[in-house]
Structure 1
Amino acid sequence: MRKNISQINKEAIITVLLYAFYFCWWYYFAYIYKAESNKFILGLPSWFFYSCVLGLVVINVLVFIAVKLFFKDIDLD
Protein backbone atom coordinates (compact mmCIF):
# COMPACT_ATOMS: atom_id res chain seq x y z
CA MET A 1 0.00 0.00 0.00
CA ARG A 2 2.89 2.37 0.76
CA LYS A 3 4.19 1.96 -2.79
CA ASN A 4 0.78 3.03 -4.14
CA ILE A 5 0.83 6.18 -2.03
CA SER A 6 4.30 7.14 -3.23
CA GLN A 7 3.23 6.56 -6.86
CA ILE A 8 0.11 8.68 -6.33
CA ASN A 9 2.20 11.47 -4.77
CA LYS A 10 4.68 11.35 -7.67
CA GLU A 11 1.84 11.60 -10.21
CA ALA A 12 0.26 14.50 -8.29
CA ILE A 13 3.57 16.41 -8.23
CA ILE A 14 4.08 15.86 -11.97
CA THR A 15 0.54 17.06 -12.65
CA VAL A 16 0.99 20.23 -10.58
CA LEU A 17 4.34 20.97 -12.26
CA LEU A 18 2.83 20.55 -15.72
CA TYR A 19 -0.06 22.84 -14.82
CA ALA A 20 2.32 25.45 -13.37
CA PHE A 21 4.40 25.32 -16.57
CA TYR A 22 1.28 25.76 -18.71
CA PHE A 23 0.05 28.67 -16.61
CA CYS A 24 3.45 30.41 -16.81
CA TRP A 25 3.58 29.83 -20.59
CA TRP A 26 0.07 31.20 -21.04
CA TYR A 27 0.63 34.19 -18.73
CA TYR A 28 3.91 35.14 -20.38
CA PHE A 29 2.52 35.20 -23.91
CA ALA A 30 -0.83 36.72 -22.90
CA TYR A 31 0.46 39.54 -20.70
CA ILE A 32 4.25 39.98 -20.89
CA TYR A 33 5.15 39.13 -24.49
CA LYS A 34 5.50 42.32 -26.53
CA ALA A 35 4.29 41.43 -29.99
CA GLU A 36 4.34 43.74 -32.93
CA SER A 37 0.89 45.28 -33.15
CA ASN A 38 0.24 44.13 -36.71
CA LYS A 39 1.71 40.63 -36.54
CA PHE A 40 -0.78 37.82 -37.16
CA ILE A 41 -0.30 34.05 -37.33
CA LEU A 42 -3.05 32.03 -39.04
CA GLY A 43 -5.28 35.09 -38.80
CA LEU A 44 -4.83 35.39 -35.03
CA PRO A 45 -2.84 37.99 -33.12
CA SER A 46 0.59 36.54 -32.35
CA TRP A 47 0.17 36.80 -28.56
CA PHE A 48 -3.08 34.82 -28.75
CA PHE A 49 -1.61 32.21 -31.09
CA TYR A 50 1.40 31.61 -28.83
CA SER A 51 -0.53 31.61 -25.55
CA CYS A 52 -3.68 29.71 -26.51
CA VAL A 53 -3.02 27.69 -29.66
CA LEU A 54 0.67 26.77 -29.48
CA GLY A 55 0.55 26.51 -25.68
CA LEU A 56 -2.26 23.97 -25.89
CA VAL A 57 -0.33 21.85 -28.38
CA VAL A 58 2.85 21.98 -26.28
CA ILE A 59 1.10 21.05 -23.03
CA ASN A 60 -0.80 18.20 -24.72
CA VAL A 61 2.46 16.72 -25.96
CA LEU A 62 4.09 17.12 -22.52
CA VAL A 63 1.12 15.52 -20.75
CA PHE A 64 1.15 12.60 -23.20
CA ILE A 65 4.87 12.05 -22.58
CA ALA A 66 4.46 12.34 -18.80
CA VAL A 67 1.61 9.84 -18.73
CA LYS A 68 3.50 7.34 -20.89
CA LEU A 69 6.73 7.63 -18.87
CA PHE A 70 5.72 8.26 -15.25
CA PHE A 71 2.10 7.24 -14.65
CA LYS A 72 1.23 3.63 -13.83
CA ASP A 73 -1.95 1.64 -13.39
CA ILE A 74 -2.34 0.82 -9.73
CA ASP A 75 -4.91 -1.21 -7.83
CA LEU A 76 -6.79 1.01 -5.38
CA ASP A 77 -8.28 -1.90 -3.40
Structure 2
Amino acid sequence: MDKKPEKDPRFAVAEREAVIGCVLAVINFAWWYGFAYGLGSEKPEDYTYILGFPAWFFFSSILGFLVMLVFVFITVKFLLKDVQLDDRDDENGGAKSA
Protein backbone atom coordinates (compact mmCIF):
# COMPACT_ATOMS: atom_id res chain seq x y z
CA MET A 1 0.00 0.00 0.00
CA ASP A 2 1.31 3.40 -0.97
CA LYS A 3 1.38 5.76 1.97
CA LYS A 4 1.23 9.48 1.19
CA PRO A 5 4.17 11.38 2.62
CA GLU A 6 3.33 13.81 5.39
CA LYS A 7 3.04 17.41 4.21
CA ASP A 8 5.71 19.61 5.70
CA PRO A 9 4.02 22.15 8.04
CA ARG A 10 6.29 24.86 6.65
CA PHE A 11 4.28 24.73 3.42
CA ALA A 12 1.13 25.81 5.26
CA VAL A 13 3.00 28.80 6.69
CA ALA A 14 4.48 29.64 3.27
CA GLU A 15 1.08 29.40 1.56
CA ARG A 16 -0.54 31.64 4.20
CA GLU A 17 2.23 34.21 3.86
CA ALA A 18 2.00 34.11 0.06
CA VAL A 19 -1.72 34.93 0.32
CA ILE A 20 -0.89 37.81 2.69
CA GLY A 21 1.63 39.13 0.14
CA CYS A 22 -0.91 38.92 -2.66
CA VAL A 23 -3.51 40.75 -0.54
CA LEU A 24 -0.98 43.52 0.15
CA ALA A 25 -0.26 43.81 -3.59
CA VAL A 26 -3.99 44.07 -4.38
CA ILE A 27 -4.45 46.73 -1.67
CA ASN A 28 -1.51 48.68 -3.09
CA PHE A 29 -2.88 48.50 -6.63
CA ALA A 30 -6.41 49.45 -5.55
CA TRP A 31 -5.06 52.45 -3.57
CA TRP A 32 -2.91 53.60 -6.48
CA TYR A 33 -5.60 53.06 -9.14
CA GLY A 34 -8.32 54.70 -7.07
CA PHE A 35 -6.41 57.90 -6.41
CA ALA A 36 -4.55 58.08 -9.74
CA TYR A 37 -7.63 57.65 -11.90
CA GLY A 38 -10.15 59.07 -9.44
CA LEU A 39 -8.39 62.39 -8.91
CA GLY A 40 -6.40 62.38 -12.15
CA SER A 41 -9.37 62.25 -14.47
CA GLU A 42 -9.84 66.03 -14.35
CA LYS A 43 -8.37 68.49 -16.81
CA PRO A 44 -4.78 69.40 -15.88
CA GLU A 45 -5.86 73.04 -15.51
CA ASP A 46 -8.22 72.01 -12.68
CA TYR A 47 -5.68 69.98 -10.66
CA THR A 48 -4.99 70.89 -7.07
CA TYR A 49 -1.40 70.67 -5.92
CA ILE A 50 0.14 69.35 -2.70
CA LEU A 51 3.83 70.10 -2.09
CA GLY A 52 4.17 70.94 -5.78
CA PHE A 53 2.72 67.62 -6.97
CA PRO A 54 -0.72 67.14 -8.48
CA ALA A 55 -3.05 65.79 -5.78
CA TRP A 56 -3.66 62.56 -7.69
CA PHE A 57 0.07 61.85 -7.82
CA PHE A 58 0.66 62.84 -4.20
CA PHE A 59 -2.12 60.60 -2.87
CA SER A 60 -1.57 57.66 -5.22
CA SER A 61 2.22 57.47 -5.26
CA ILE A 62 3.79 59.40 -2.39
CA LEU A 63 1.19 58.87 0.33
CA GLY A 64 0.44 55.39 -1.06
CA PHE A 65 4.09 54.43 -0.64
CA LEU A 66 4.09 55.61 2.96
CA VAL A 67 0.83 53.81 3.76
CA MET A 68 2.15 50.60 2.21
CA LEU A 69 5.35 50.91 4.25
CA VAL A 70 3.22 50.96 7.41
CA PHE A 71 1.10 48.01 6.18
CA VAL A 72 4.18 45.96 5.34
CA PHE A 73 5.83 46.78 8.68
CA ILE A 74 2.70 45.74 10.60
CA THR A 75 2.42 42.58 8.49
CA VAL A 76 6.04 41.58 9.05
CA LYS A 77 5.91 42.39 12.75
CA PHE A 78 2.61 40.69 13.63
CA LEU A 79 1.48 38.27 10.90
CA LEU A 80 4.58 36.56 9.49
CA LYS A 81 6.31 33.74 11.38
CA ASP A 82 9.95 32.80 11.63
CA VAL A 83 10.34 29.33 10.11
CA GLN A 84 13.38 27.05 10.17
CA LEU A 85 14.52 26.34 6.63
CA ASP A 86 16.93 23.47 7.27
CA ASP A 87 15.91 19.78 7.13
CA ARG A 88 16.63 19.00 10.76
CA ASP A 89 14.19 17.09 12.88
CA ASP A 90 14.69 18.29 16.46
CA GLU A 91 12.97 15.23 17.91
CA ASN A 92 15.71 12.95 16.52
CA GLY A 93 18.62 14.92 17.91
CA GLY A 94 19.16 17.01 14.81
CA ALA A 95 19.18 14.17 12.28
CA LYS A 96 16.51 13.92 9.61
CA SER A 97 14.27 10.90 10.04
CA ALA A 98 14.14 8.41 7.20
- What TM-score, normalized to structure 2? 0.71
Question: Structure 1 vs Structure 2: percent identity of aligned residues?
Answer: 42
- What TM-score, normalized to structure 1? 0.89
Structure with larger Rg:
2
Relative contact order: is structure 1 or structure 2 higher (C-alpha 8 Å, sep ≥ 6)?
Answer: 1
Q: Which runs of 5+ in 2 are unaligned?
A: 1-6, 87-98
Equivalent residue for 1:11? 17
- Alignment of 1:31 with 2:31, yes or no, is no
Q: Once superposed, what is the RMSD of the aligned Cα atoms?
A: 1.7
Question: Could you report, residue by residue, the CA deviation over 1:12-64 in whole angstroms, capped at 9, with x for unpaired residues?
Answer: 00000000000011011111235682411011000000000000000010000
Q: Kindly indicate whether the alpha-carbon contact (under 8 Å) linking 2:38 and 2:56 is maintained by their aligned counterparts in 1.
A: no
- Alignment of 1:53 with 2:53, yes or no, is no
